[in-house]
Structure 1
Amino acid sequence: MAKGIWSISCMTSNTKEQLLVDRRSANYMPSVWDYNFVKSLSADYAEERYVERVQRMKEEVKCTLERESNLLAKLELIDAIQRLGLQYRFDNEIKKALRVIQNHSNDAWFSNDLHSTALRFRLLRQHGYNVSQDVFEGFMDKMGSFEASLADDVKGLLSLYEASFHGLEGEGLVDEAKAFTCKHLNLLHLEGGIISSCREKKISHALELPIHWRPNRLEARWFMDIYEEDPNMNRTLLEMAKLDFNVLQSIYQKEVSGLARWWLELGVNELGFSRDRLVEHYLWSCLMVPEPEYGFCRVMLTKITCMITLIDDVYDVFGTLEELELLTDFIERWDVTDIEKLPLTIRISFLALFNTTNEVGFEILKEQGFNATPYIRRMVRFCLFIRDIHSPYSSTDFLLLLISGHKWVNECRAYIKEAKCYHKGYVPTLEEYLPTSVTSTGGPLMLFCIFLLTTKKLTHEALDYVSKTPRIIYISGLILRLNDDLGTSPDEMLRGDNPKGIECYMNENGASREAAVKHIEDMIWETWKAMNEQAFVDRPFPGMEVFIGACLNLARVSHSFYKYGDGHGVPDRATKDNIMSVLIQPVPVN
């Protein structure tokens, strides 16, 4: 047992404590997963022969990509490789191919064909090339609008639509491309039968969420079925994608099976008041860091996320203000002395947090030879204390406080006292609300842990950088917060929870709910523009590719979880289907 791990006896105490204290309840539904089933997942494709078969097919696809002389065909093959979830296996080959394509950027065919131009724009921007929005000027009329005749080019419309989501701040032409393609694709979607069923599926899928906003594991499973209908489909590539998907799924099954055992042994799933979402938390982790070699990261990240949700629910639902002040003191001191002062259920919750955080720090010490526990502890405390508690400072002061992570400990008492504002019905402005609420999602903490768990060589300089919440972490967390608010606000307002961003905007501006929702959606679009740029400028240390990818993926996962409601708090059919697809059901292979 790692140093600092205390024994937890998870006695059921809810009934007694409920009699003594009138506690709130969020009425969270129990887990939809039978943990005995999760523990029994068999990992059928874990055998080495499947890995060897994938490697043989990779060599064949690699030769095809290298030999392809038609630049459009090369672009389309790269796009298919990526959408099928195989980019991590072809990173070097894709980079080499894109350099060739970039060197032919002045070829006339790029300027004359909308699909070719848009696909090239999207793929090059995705990989960090500086491609001007001016490449689309040739498709504009004399009035500065996209030519009406382009509405008849469905393939070109789809490509331009997907390209528009790689825009940057201030790019009006890209904004115009998004508006133009959304309008005409929606018209085609309404017409339905006029276009082929395959095209209709593509349009419906794109309008639901663009490729750039989708987690790649989910996109890969959907795209396999669509790609199979493509007359230009590469059979070897498709079969490789299916088998590789199953090989990865077997890795995930082994990991989540072990986590189910840990979760049941920990016993906090029996406490009742908190969201029991182990499998959903693991899905977050594997969608954020899907590559096979990062299993240690996925497991540790899932454990931390489970603890954040548990303590989040203690603060949100279970604890009284007096109990939360006492709990805050224990977390601030990070000490179990006099732990008996806490009510039993909150004591169990704190010990679970204490033990798990120390365990993760101990495992990082073994893996990296670097004691990261104090950094994790600081971030855990910070994430918990500022959640749903509005700072007495201005938003500018608060951001400075956020950046100066070492200063927050002295202020946590002020934060917990600010909770009293809610009992007085205080509704902050959106500007006041966002800085604290971004951190309270737990997203920055997840990204911080990923940085610790995937960086090849940790240094004090690197840890100082990430512990000060660099802009890319804040931007990723902001997209998570805004999506969370869109998905959870209706249910949380019905049960009388704290106001979300939608309510803050409505209260501040006297706006309708519809107008507030539109404002939040526009904020998401603008924040993604900042993300597109930040992903390629915020790299002060080598080896940050996995961390940067996780920042992008956290934002993407939030879209999939909150698109149709609270897919985390109330795991809906979409969330369950995603788990079945990624973790449970293998793809049929020949």
Structure 2
Amino acid sequence: MASEGFDHSKNEIGQPAQSFPSLWGDTFISKNIDTHEVQVKYDESVAPLREEVREMLMAKESKTSTDKIALIDILERLGLSYHFEKEIDEQLELIFRESSASNFKTMEKYDLFNTSLLFRLFRQHGHIIPCGVFDRFMKDTDEDLKSDIKGLLSLYEATGVRIQGENVLEEAITFTTCHLNHLRSEIDPLLRERVSRALLRSIHREVPILVVRYYISIYEKESSSNELIVRFAKLNFNYLQSLYQKELFDLTRWWRDSNMSSKVPYVRDRIVESYVWGVGMNYEPQYSFARTAVAKAVQLIAVLDDTYDTYAPLEDLEIFTQVLQRRKHVPPFEDIVSLGLVTSTLFMLVSASYLIGSATQQHFEWLMSKPQIAVAMAQFCRYANDRATNERESNDGGENLTAVDCYMKQYGVSKEEAMNKFAQLAEDLWMSVNKEWVETVSVPRQFLKPILNFGRLTVACYDKGEDGYTYPERVMIKSQILALFVDPI
């Protein structure tokens, strides 16, 4: 791309080249972990704990339905659910059959907290349940309901799995947000912390592994916490962290050996941040190869993106500028949306996440057929990314037309109006994903999860319109990396 004698301090149109060096130095290359030794110690420590928790989960007489759904929720938040996938599915299936057989009338015995929790868990596990189970609560707006903090929080989190047309849940968002904000200052600090985090991002949009570290610190302080489960969760997290550290060691060496930072110094050096996407899509220990493949793909995409967006050849930019000056042509926004299926990188990265032992050609063919859940999520992520990266990619000089620019010009609206429209479109698409999540039965849920997690990562990385991949310190990605990969519990 570069001509002989190219000055890397400037790009090819004479603008100062912005540098994005790694924030991590030798942090992840200073220690090579013996994962075999870690595995042996872990297996010895957790085997009895795992069996005790399994007994809790499968107990028939000592546990009520509400006890079991609460336990399932705790295990999922603590990152322990992968140990009990079969058992959790069995328990939820039993409760769902009982509820659906009565047309969900049996759920009337549950209070707001448990109704909301069960509704969310059912949908998150692919069970179709009507939103009408909330009608009786939304008609009852007395003071008892308004002061039920845990119930309101559970209902708020249930709204995260809503689909288009569920007016009762749309009303619930407004209702719960208003009262949770009003009561937040009056509740104990531990519950206040949970409410504040949920209002920032509901549990269904959280990246599972990012929840784990946070929730361990919350759960162990709760008066109702189970000491055995706390111990299991901490051992499990430290074990996962050791695996991640080994994978980061290998990835950092791979990136350094490529010498890309010297060959293309303008590229964002973000191999560690790229690995967050690998872990976020598949955090369970058996998916090491998939995590590494995703991380490498994300970093290499950044190389291409930075080269084409910011350092395209001078002659190409001159031709492009001449065309714009002659024709004043702006691509139709609809074309940008269609192109977003590719530029969101969802299909590429989800394909990389399928590099696991159980994936077959059929699963890749299903993904390449552009199923609606993947299309909707790709478009959601494109809108979120465009809102966050618009400022950087606009390049001040205006050589690069962004999707926001195209929308503004086509519809004659301000930047603020365009940004708000993108947010609205993204919200509608997330609800489409929720619908497809429960209705897609042609592939195992294992192959849907990376699609959902891709969207969750986009929410975390591009939160509040910030580009957390390029500037990880702005949206707490840096602090989350420290918590996940550096600091043990």
Do both proteins adopt the same fold according to a TM-score greater than 0.5, normalized to the shorter chain? yes
| TM-score w.r.t. length of structure 2 | 0.89
| Residue 63 of structure 1, aligned match among 46, 50, 55 | 55
| Residue 177 of structure 1, aligned match among 172, 180, 183 | 172
In the alignment, is the contact (CA less than 8 A) between 1:65 and 1:74 conserved in 2? yes
Return the alpha-carbon distance in structure 2 between the equivalents of residues 252 and 187 of structure 1.
40
Return the alpha-carbon distance in structure 1 between the equivalents of residues 480 and 450 of structure 2.
19
576 and 101 in structure 1: CA distance in 2 versus 1, 3 angstrom threshold: same
Residue 480 of structure 1: how far off its partner (Å): 1.8
Q: Secondary structure at the match of 1:39?
A: coil
**Alignment partner of 1:29 is 2:20:** yes
| Residue 251 of structure 2, aligned match among 234, 240, 259 | 259
Structure 2: segments with no counterpart, 5+ residues: none
In the alignment, is the contact (CA less than 8 A) between 2:247 and 2:292 conserved in 1? yes
Residue 199 of structure 1: how far off its partner (Å): 1.8
**Alignment partner of 1:281 is 2:274:** yes
**Alignment partner of 1:567 is 2:468:** yes
Q: Secondary structure at the match of 2:293?
A: helix
* Counterpart residue type for residue 150 of structure 1: L
98 and 464 in structure 1: CA distance in 2 versus 1, 3 angstrom threshold: closer
Matches within 5 A, 1:477-492: 477-492=378-393
Deviation per CA, 1:242-283: give whole Å up to 9, x if none: 111111111111111011111111111222111111111111
Return the alpha-carbon distance in structure 2 between the equivalents of residues 285 and 301 of structure 1.
5
* Counterpart residue type for residue 537 of structure 1: E
Return the alpha-carbon distance in structure 2 between the equivalents of residues 40 and 434 of structure 1.
44
In the alignment, is the contact (CA less than 8 A) between 1:301 and 1:446 conserved in 2? yes
Residue 168 of structure 1: how far off its partner (Å): 1.6
Residue 85 of structure 1: how far off its partner (Å): 1.0
Matches within 5 A, 1:80-479: 80-105=74-99, 106=104, 110-111=108-109, 113-141=111-139, 149-189=144-184, 192=185, 194-270=186-262, 271-320=264-313, 322=315, 421=324, 426-451=329-354, 453-454=355-356, 456=358, 458-459=360-361, 462-479=363-380
Deviation per CA, 1:334-378: give whole Å up to 9, x if none: xxxxxxxxxxxxxxxxxxxxxxxxxxxxxxxxxxxxxxxxxxxxx
In the alignment, is the contact (CA less than 8 A) between 1:281 and 1:302 conserved in 2? yes
Deviation per CA, 1:499-529: give whole Å up to 9, x if none: 4444444434444444433322222221111
536 and 250 in structure 1: CA distance in 2 versus 1, 3 angstrom threshold: same
167 and 553 in structure 1: CA distance in 2 versus 1, 3 angstrom threshold: same
Matches within 5 A, 1:4-83: 15-16=6-7, 21-24=12-15, 27-34=18-25, 36-43=26-33, 46-67=38-59, 68-83=62-77
Residue 492 of structure 1: how far off its partner (Å): 3.5
In the alignment, is the contact (CA less than 8 A) between 1:111 and 1:138 conserved in 2? no
Q: Secondary structure at the match of 2:27?
A: helix
Residue 301 of structure 1: how far off its partner (Å): 2.0
In the alignment, is the contact (CA less than 8 A) between 2:9 and 2:17 conserved in 1? no
Residue 318 of structure 1: how far off its partner (Å): 1.4
Look up the match of 2:451: 551
480 and 41 in structure 1: CA distance in 2 versus 1, 3 angstrom threshold: farther
440 and 417 in structure 1: CA distance in 2 versus 1, 3 angstrom threshold: farther
Single out whichever of 65-74 and 129-138 deviates more from structure 2.
65-74
Deviation per CA, 1:52-97: give whole Å up to 9, x if none: 2122211111111222422111111110000111111110111121
In the alignment, is the contact (CA less than 8 A) between 1:216 and 1:287 conserved in 2? yes
In the alignment, is the contact (CA less than 8 A) between 1:24 and 1:317 conserved in 2? no
Single out whichever of 461-470 and 169-178 deviates more from structure 2.
461-470
Residue 533 of structure 1: how far off its partner (Å): 2.0
In the alignment, is the contact (CA less than 8 A) between 2:346 and 2:451 conserved in 1? no
Return the alpha-carbon distance in structure 2 between the equivalents of residues 422 and 174 of structure 1.
49
Q: Secondary structure at the match of 1:531?
A: helix
Residue 19 of structure 1: how far off its partner (Å): 8.4
**Alignment partner of 1:527 is 2:429:** yes
In the alignment, is the contact (CA less than 8 A) between 1:23 and 1:320 conserved in 2? no
Return the alpha-carbon distance in structure 1 between the equivalents of residues 33 and 322 of structure 2.
47
Residue 103 of structure 1: how far off its partner (Å): 3.4
Deviation per CA, 1:407-445: give whole Å up to 9, x if none: xxxxxxxxx989955996644454332221342132221
In the alignment, is the contact (CA less than 8 A) between 2:155 and 2:176 conserved in 1? yes
Return the alpha-carbon distance in structure 2 between the equivalents of residues 129 and 81 of structure 1.
19
| TM-score w.r.t. length of structure 1 | 0.74
138 and 439 in structure 1: CA distance in 2 versus 1, 3 angstrom threshold: same
Deviation per CA, 1:367-400: give whole Å up to 9, x if none: xxxxxxxxxxxxxxxxxxxxxxxxxxxxxxxxxx
Q: Secondary structure at the match of 1:90?
A: helix
84 and 552 in structure 1: CA distance in 2 versus 1, 3 angstrom threshold: same
278 and 20 in structure 1: CA distance in 2 versus 1, 3 angstrom threshold: closer
Q: Secondary structure at the match of 1:454?
A: coil
Structure 1: segments with no counterpart, 5+ residues: 1-10, 326-415
Residue 18 of structure 1: how far off its partner (Å): 7.1
462 and 227 in structure 1: CA distance in 2 versus 1, 3 angstrom threshold: closer
Return the alpha-carbon distance in structure 2 between the equivalents of residues 83 and 425 of structure 1.
52
Residue 310 of structure 1: how far off its partner (Å): 0.6
41 and 19 in structure 1: CA distance in 2 versus 1, 3 angstrom threshold: closer
502 and 180 in structure 1: CA distance in 2 versus 1, 3 angstrom threshold: farther
